[in-house]
Structure 1
Amino acid sequence: MEHHLKAQKAVEDQKIAHLARLCARMEPGRAAVTLSPLDDATIHRILLQLDKDSALKIQSVLVRIRKESG
């Protein structure tokens, strides 16, 4: 069971890294729209993998999206 949990965590980490790479290539608005359905913890993990400037721009757009939607 422990092996299964470690494998599951590794797959999740790979998905987070993949999303971070994709977002790094996108414009901030598009990246924010892509990330907006995700929970805050997942978004945080993705933004931590980006350079500070890109992460701040995406976060700014995410805040606007969430304010507009409710």
Structure 2
Amino acid sequence: MAGTARLTSYGLPSRRGRNSALMDLAAQMPPAVLSEVLGVSIGAATGWAAAGGPARGTPPNSAAARRAETRV
């Protein structure tokens, strides 16, 4: 039985945890690095980066922070 199916059979959904972990990683590294590390397409990595908001350490008045505010 696969890991996801096994967790689900015990009533433990894993998708939210996976998504949270991906967004956290995306906030820590650029999409190009995330794509290489995880073996996903650059488009998928860029999507996770957008969902995760601006990178950690981004000054609040930076262009990345302003773009994140307009998405909300």
Aligning the two structures, in what range does the TM-score lie when normalised by the shorter sequence?
0.3 to 0.5
Name whichever structure is richer in helix by fraction: 1
TM-score between the two structures when normalised by the length of structure 1? 0.40
Based on CA coordinates, which of the two structures has the bigger radius of gyration?
A: 2
TM-score between the two structures when normalised by the length of structure 2? 0.39
